[in-house]
Chains A and B, each alone.
Chain A
C-alpha cells in the first residue's frame, strides 16, 4: 500500500468572518497526480498556502510527508516544492542563477546544485538559455523555469498553483509531459487549476473545490459516475425555437444544457435517448446540423454538483 504523503483532516481557515476553507478532509498518496479543480475564489490558493505553512489554519490537522504542519514546519517545507501562480523569478538573474538561488534556500549548494540545475534545464529544454537573463525569456519559458525552480531540491511533493496560466498550447503540452514524468518517478503532484481539460488530461485523481469545501473527489471515471450518466449527446442546430427549447429545459431539468448553437444532453442510455431527442427537435422545428456523442465532461460534473458552470 502506498504511503499517504499528505493527510488533511478537519482543515479550516478563516479571514475574519470569511470562511476561505471549510472543513477539508483529504488524503493524497505518494506519486499521485492530484488535481484540485475549482472556480476563482473557491479556496485553492488558500489551501496551498496552508499546506506550505505560510498560513496557519484555524482548525484541523495536516501531515506532510509524515511531519505535522504546525509542529515541524521546517521539515514540511523541505518536503515541498511550490510553483506559485505568479512568475516568481528574478528578471535580472539568469535562468541558472535563479535555479541556484532558489535551490540554495533549501540547502542545495555547490556542484550538487549546479548539476541539478543543468539537469532541470535539460528536462525543460532550456539548456542553451541557461545563462540568459530571465527578462529575455518568453512567457512559456519563464513558466518552465518557474516550475524548475521548485524542483531543484528534489521535493517529495510538488504543489502547483495554476502553473500554466497565460501560456501557449505548445509550452503547456511540454509542461504536461515533464510533470507526467515527475509523477511516474514518484513525485506527488498537487495541481490546482480552473482549466478542466488540464485536469482531465493529466490528473490521476481529482478534487472539486467550491466555497472552501471539497464537494467531490475521485478519479475522472468516479466523478463521471456521480452524475449518474455515462455520456453526453451534443446536438448542434442552425435554426432554433426559443419557446420549444425552454420547454425541453423544463422537461429534462439538469440533464440538458442549452447553448446558443447546441444542446448537451447527459444520458446513461444513448440508444434510448438519441431518437427521442431527434424526434423532439423535429417536432419543435429545430434544424439540426450535427450530432455527436461525448463522454461526460468535468464541466457537466461540476454543473451537476453545484448547479452552475465552473466559470460563473
Chain B
C-alpha cells in the first residue's frame, strides 16, 4: 500500500504543470476572493463609503443642515443632483441610490408630521441598497429624531388637551426641551435619548481582531479546490484501469483494496500539503492570523483532507470511466461548494439554505476553520466539526471499498 502511495506521490510531483496548477490555482482564487470580500489584510473593519445622490427639493436652511450632517458621515459619500437626472442615472445603473427631500420637509419636521423623504435605488443592487437603507435610517433618526419626537409630543398634548393652562404647557415644553436635544440651539441634555440610546451592538470573539472575510476566502476556496484535487487523485484509479496498470497491479501479490487505500493515502498527504501551502500563503501574503493553537489547526486540516480523500475515492468507485468520474465530481463539488459556504458565506443565505448546508462536507470544514482561525474555539466546540469530517471520511471510504470490489476490480 505504501509502495503504491509513494509511487503516486512521485508521479504527482513529476507532473510539474499539474502540480503547480494544484497549488497556484487555489492561491490565486483565495487572493481574488479575499479582495472580493474586502478582508485583505484589514483589521480595522472600516467599510468603503457608498456613493449616493441627494436631491434637495425643499431647499431650506433645515434641509441643507441635515444634508451637511449626512456629508460628515464616513459610510456615505454624497453628491447633489437634479431629481430627474438622478432617477435616470440610477435606472442606467450608474448610481446605487438617491435620497430625496421633498418640498415641505422642514415644515413637516417642525410640525411633527411624517417627513417627506424618499430613497430611490437600483433594483438590481437590492442587497447593497438594503445595507444603505439601514445606515441612512439610523443616521437620519439620530439627526431628526429628538426634534421630531419633541414636536410630536407637544402636538399630541395640545391635541388631547386643548384647554390646558398655558403655564402648565410651558412647563411641559421646558421639560421636554431638557430631555431632547434641539438641533436648532445645540442643547444636548437628552436624558431620555440617552436612556433610549438605541441598541448597543458588541461583537463577541475570543480574538480581539478577526478578519472574517479573509478566513472565509481561505476556508471556502481551500476546501473547494481540495475537493477538485482529491477527486482527480481518486479517479486516477480509473485512469490506471484504462492504462492497464491496474490489471498489472492485480496480477501482483498485493491485496486489491490496498490499491484503493494507497490512493487515499496519497490524497490525504497531498491534500494536507495543499492546505498548509494555502494557509501559509494566506498568513504571509494576505495577513491571516493562524491563532494560538496550531495543533487544533493541524487537526482540522487532517480531518478535512481525510474527508475529502474519502469523497475522491467514492467518486471513483461509483464511476466506470475516468471521464465519467471527472464530470460527476465537478457537478457534485460545485453543488456542495454552493450550499456548503465555499462560494457564498453561509450567513448571507436564507435560513432554509443554512439548514441544508450541514449536508455538505464544505460546511463542516469551513466551520472547523472558523473555529480555529476566527473564534479561537475550545476543543469541545471543535470536536463536533472534526468528528463529522472524520465520520464523512470513514463512511465514504467504507462505501468505496465495497463498490471498488464490485465496479473497479472487473478486469475481464
A residues with CB within 8 A of B: 15, 20, 45-46, 49, 52, 54-55, 74, 77-78, 80, 82, 84-90, 92-93, 97, 101-102, 104-107, 133, 149
Chain B residues with CB under 8 A of A54:
247, 250-251, 411-412
CB distance from A4 to the nearest CB of B (A): 22
CB distance from A33 to the nearest CB of B (A): 20
Contact A92 B15 (CB under 8 A): yes
Stretch at the interface among B6-14, B40-48, B72-80: B6-14
Contact of A90 among B7, B411, B412 (CB under 8 A): B7
8 Å CB contact of B11 from A85, A92, A102, A107: A92
Partner of B10, one of A97, A102, A107: A97
**B residues near A104, Cβ cutoff 8 Å:** 3
Nearest A residue to B7 via CB reads A101
Residues from chain A with a CB closer than 8 A to the CB of B412 are 15, 20, 45-46, 49, 54-55
Interface string of B130-168 (1 = CB under 8 A from A): 000000000000000000000000000000000000000
Which B residues are in CB contact (< 8 Å) with A92? Answer: 10-11, 14-15
10 smallest CB-CB distances across A and B, nearest first, come from A86-B244, A88-B248, A105-B252, A88-B244, A77-B253, A92-B14, A82-B251, A92-B11, A88-B245, A52-B251
Q: Judge whether B11 and A77 touch: CB under 8 Å.
A: no
Q: Which one of A54, A55, A78, A80 has the greatest number of beta carbons of chain B within 10 Å?
A: A54
Q: What is the chain A residue whose CB lies nearest that of B255? A: A74
Point out the residue from A20, A45, A55, A105 that lies within 8 Å of B249, measured CB to CB.
A105
Give the residue among B247, B248, B411 with the most A Cβ atoms within 10 A: B248
Determine the residue in chain B with the shortest Cβ distance to A105.
B252
- Is A84 touching B3 in the complex (CB atoms < 8 A)? no
Asked if residues B248 and A84 are in contact (CB atoms below 8 Å), the reply is: yes
- Name the distance in Å between A300's Cβ and chain B's nearest Cβ: 32
Chain A residue numbers with a CB within 8 Å of B254 are: 105
Chain A residue at minimum C-beta to C-beta distance from B13: A92
Chain A residues whose CB sits within 8 angstroms of the CB of B411 once the complex forms: 49, 54-55
Contact of A93 among B7, B243, B252 (CB under 8 A): B7
- Inter-chain contact A106/B253, CB cutoff 8 Å: yes
Measured between C-beta atoms, what is the minimum distance from A144 to chain B in Å? 16
**With A90-B245, A104-B3 given, is the CB distance from A84 to B251 under 8 Å?**
yes
Chain A residue numbers with a CB within 8 Å of B243 are 86, 88
Q: A86-B244, A88-B245 are in contact. Are A93 and B10 (CB under 8 A)?
A: yes
Query: What is the bound-complex CA distance between A297 and B411, given in angstroms?
Result: 34
Task: Write out the residue numbers on chain B whose beta carbons fall within 8 Å of the beta carbon of A46.
Answer: 412
Q: Which residues of B contact A74 (CB under 8 A)?
A: 253
B 229-251 to A, binary, CB cutoff 8 A, 1 in contact else 0:
00000000000000111011111
CB distance from B243 to the nearest CB of A (A): 7
Query: Which A residues are in CB contact (< 8 Å) with B251?
Result: 52, 54, 77, 80, 82, 84
A147 to chain B, nearest CB (A): 12
27 pairs, CB–CB < 8 Å, chain A vs chain B: A15-B412, A20-B412, A45-B412, A49-B411, A49-B412, A52-B251, A54-B250, A74-B253, A77-B251, A77-B252, A78-B253, A80-B251, A84-B244, A84-B247, A84-B248, A86-B247, A88-B243, A89-B245, A90-B11, A90-B245, A92-B14, A92-B15, A93-B11, A93-B14, A101-B3, A102-B248, A107-B253
When C-beta atoms are compared, the residue in chain A nearest to B11 turns out to be A92
Bound-state Cα–Cα, A82 to B244, Å: 12
What is the bound-complex CA distance between A63 and B250, given in angstroms?
19
Interface string of B1-24 (1 = CB under 8 A from A): 001000100110011000000000
- Chain B residues, Cβ within 8 Å of A133: 14
Complex: A191 Cα to B339 Cα, angstroms: 56
Q: Tell me which residues across on chain A come within 8 A of B250, comparing CB atoms.
A: 54
Chain B stretch 383-402: residues in CB contact (< 8 A) with chain A? none
Interface string of B44-58 (1 = CB under 8 A from A): 000000000000000
Which B residues lie within 8 Å of A107 (CB)? 253
| Residue pair B3, A88 in contact (C-beta under 8 Å) | no
Q: Which residues in A have their C-beta under 8 angstroms from that of B245?
A: 88-90
A190 to chain B, nearest CB (A): 13
Q: Which of A45, A77, A92, A93 has the most chain B CB atoms closer than 10 A to its own CB?
A: A92
Contacts of A85 in B (CB 8 A): 244
In the complex, residue of chain A having the shortest beta-carbon distance to the beta carbon of B15: A92
Given known pairs A15-B412, A88-B248, the reply for A105 and B3 (CB within 8 Å) is yes
Residue numbers in B under 8 Å from A78 (CB-CB): 253
Excluding A86-B244, A93-B14, 5 further A-B contacts by CB distance (< 8 Å) are A80-B251, A86-B247, A88-B243, A92-B15, A93-B10
| Minimum Cβ distance to chain A for residue B44 (Å) | 49
Residue of B nearest to A135 (CB): B14
- Residues of chain A within 8 A (CB-CB) of B253 are 74, 77-78, 105-107
In Å, the complex CA distance between A104 and B7 comes to 11
Whole-angstrom CA separation of A107 from B245 in the bound complex: 18
User: B3–A87 contact, CB under 8 A?
Assistant: no
CB distance from B80 to the nearest CB of A (A): 67
Which chain B residue has the least Cβ–Cβ distance from A81? Answer: B251
A309 to chain B, nearest CB (A): 26
A87–B245 Cα gap in the complex (Å)? Answer: 8
Chain B residue numbers with a CB within 8 Å of A89 are 245
Taking each of B14, B15, B252, which has the highest tally of chain A beta carbons within 10 Å of its own beta carbon?
Answer: B252
CB-nearest residue of chain A relative to B12?
A92
Cβ of B244: which chain A residues have Cβ within 8 Å of it? 84-88
B322 CB, min distance to chain A CBs, angstroms: 15
Q: Which residue of A lies closest to B245 (CB)?
A: A88
Q: Mark B266-297, 1 if CB is under 8 A from A, else 0.
A: 00000000000000000000000000000000
Could you say which of B3, B245, B250, B254 has the most chain A C-beta atoms within 10 Å of its C-beta?
A: B245
